[in-house]
């Protein structure tokens, strides 16, 4: 019987920033694509999203009612109505304003009695009207480059006549290894986070704990980023890093990150490889610490604004030299730590977000203001 080769061993834990810095020279934003607006949803803009002309292109009603010259209804009130020779034009919200009209009266302000048109309400010029260019001036960016096109911005762009957008759509494939539901459950979670980060996901693959099969899955991926899940530990069946090493250069195996210390990164020509542990909390933490900055670099995303600072409900203890991801629940404006490494799934499922403890701190005291980052899909 052939001897089972021993798995690769972790010699030391690379600081998180060192691991990312080793990969940074191999990463570049992918080539932009100009695509129909609907196909740009969720991806990062490579160019500012700007309307082809003023939006709206002419004055439009912002409410239902009657379009009038404001001066003609000046001073009108129920006790002192103004009479019009004919009923003014009725308009609906979004409809172009008739020539000469610069205000919209509410429907109840106009009434026809015995053949006379009685106006009992007045409006200042511009009341009930969105002027030309009110929503966006010609070529004025609705969104700058480097920002993800979210549903609200997409709707605003469509309303302003924008049909195409230049975006970066880095491609990614998730490869799971081993047996059991752990890696597959983690893959579902990471796929949701990867999509939120602006990655275009190819069909998922599952391969056995065999270095040749893992190497083939990586070599044949034809994507910008391969994310493997499972098989990064020290067990006899953990063969992912050995397999990836046959198709790419392993830059770091073992990161000073808790949970997620067995994560690894590698690079091949025109492709990055991120190897995540199979345990759910460790896979998520490693994605948050390593996967998000890799995805942001490939997508050409701007640096995210600083997250809000919120107080901790109780203290958090960490180990000097380790970056720790602490999952938390947000309740009554305070953050209740759930824990970090080895967190039971029943508690992890409650997490609204997380707090990162940098490696130079031993933790935070109760009441300390810390940066809170929400998890995708978590309750606000």
Asked whether 92 and 60 are in contact (CB, 8 A), the reply is no
Q: Which pLDDT belongs to residue 114? A: 79
Contact between 229 and 278 under an 8 Å Cβ cutoff? The reply is yes
**Is 4 among the domain residues?**
no
Residue 143: give its domain's CATH number: 3.90.105
178 with 246, same domain: the answer is yes
Q: Which of 275, 299, 323 is the last residue of a domain?
A: 299
* Cβ-count burial 321-348 (b if 16+ within 10 Å, e if not): ebbbbbbbbbeeeebebbbbbebeeeee
Q: Is residue 7 part of a domain?
A: no
In three-state secondary structure terms, 173 is: strand
Co-location of 185 and 85 in the same domain: no
Q: State both tokens at 186.
A: 């983690």
Please report whether residue 6 resides in a domain.
no
Looking at the predicted structure, is the pLDDT value of residue 62 above 80?
yes
CATH code at position 323: 2.40.340.10
Contact assessment for residue 151 and residue 25, using Cβ atoms and an 8 Å cutoff: no
Asked if 351 contacts 327 with a C-beta cutoff of 8 angstroms, the reply is: yes
Mean pLDDT value across the chain: 92
Residue 30 has pLDDT above 50, yes or no: yes
Query: What is the pTM assigned to this prediction?
Result: 0.85
Residue 6 is predicted with a pLDDT of 58
The phi, psi pair for 238, rounded to 5°, reads -85, 95
- H or E element, residue 229: strand 225-229
Same domain, 88 and 25: no
User: Would the pLDDT of 379 be above 50?
Assistant: no
Strand pairing partners for 278? none
Binned at pLDDT 50, 70 and 90, residue 50 comes out as very high
Report whether pLDDT(140) > 70: yes
Of 113-117, 199-203, 323-327, 363-367, the range with the lowest mean pLDDT is 113-117
Give the mean model confidence (pLDDT) for residues 74-100.
Answer: 94
pLDDT tens by residue, 303-318: 989 999 999 999 999 9
Is the pLDDT assigned to residue 380 strictly greater than 60? no
Asked if residue 263 and residue 185 are part of one domain, the reply reads: yes
Q: pLDDT for 273-296, tens place per residue?
A: 999 999 999 999 999 999 999 999
Residue 163's domain comprises: 36-51+137-167
Whether residues 256 and 289 fall in one domain: yes
- Domain match, 210 and 250 both: yes
Task: Classify residue 41: in a domain, yes or no.
Answer: yes
Number of domains forming the structure of the chain: 4
Q: Are residues 250 and 293 in the same domain?
A: yes
Task: Decide: 232 and 253 in contact? Cβ < 8 Å.
Answer: yes
């Amino acid at each position: 019987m052939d001897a089972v080769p021993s798995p690769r061993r972790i010699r030391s834990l690379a600081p998180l920033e060192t691991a990312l810095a080793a990969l940074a020279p191999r990463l570049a934003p992918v080539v932009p694509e100009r695509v129909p607006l609907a196909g740009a949803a969720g991806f990062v803009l490579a160019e500012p999203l700007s309307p082809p002309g003023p939006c709206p292109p002419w004055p439009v009603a912002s409410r239902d009612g009657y379009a009038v010259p404001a001066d003609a209804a000046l001073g009108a009130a129920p006790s002192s109505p103004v009479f019009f020779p004919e009923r003014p034009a009725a308009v609906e919200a979004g409809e172009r304003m008739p020539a000469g009209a610069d205000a919209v009266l509410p429907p109840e302000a106009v009434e026809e009695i015995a053949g006379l048109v009685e106006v009992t309400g007045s409006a200042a010029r511009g009341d009930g009207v969105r002027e030309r260019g009110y929503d966006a001036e010609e070529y004025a960016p609705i969104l700058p480059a480097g920002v993800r096109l979210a549903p609200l911005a997409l709707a605003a762009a469509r309303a302003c006549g924008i049909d195409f957008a230049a975006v970066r759509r880095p491609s990614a494939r998730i490869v799971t290894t081993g047996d059991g539901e752990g890696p597959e459950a983690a893959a579902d979670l990471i796929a949701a986070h990867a999509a939120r980060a602006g990655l275009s996901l190819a069909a998922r693959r599952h391969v056995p704990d065999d270095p040749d099969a893992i190497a083939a899955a990586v070599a044949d991926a034809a994507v910008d980023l391969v994310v493997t899940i499972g098989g990064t530990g020290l067990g006899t069946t953990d063969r992912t890093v050995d397999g990836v090493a046959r198709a790419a250069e392993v830059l770091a195996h073992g990161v000073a990150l808790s949970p997620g210390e067995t994560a690894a990164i590698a690079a091949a020509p025109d492709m990055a490889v991120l190897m995540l542990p199979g345990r759910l909390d460790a896979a998520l933490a490693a994605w948050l610490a390593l996967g998000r900055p890799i995805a942001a670099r490939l997508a050409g995303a701007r640096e995210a604004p600083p997250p809000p600072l919120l107080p901790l409900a109780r203290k958090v203890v960490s180990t000097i030299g380790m970056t720790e991801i602490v999952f938390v629940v947000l309740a009554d404006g305070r953050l209740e730590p759930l824990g970090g490494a080895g967190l039971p799934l029943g508690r992890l499922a409650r997490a609204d977000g997380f707090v990162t403890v940098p490696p130079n701190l031993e933790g935070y005291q109760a009441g300390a203001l810390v940066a809170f980052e929400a998890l995708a899909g978590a309750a606000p």
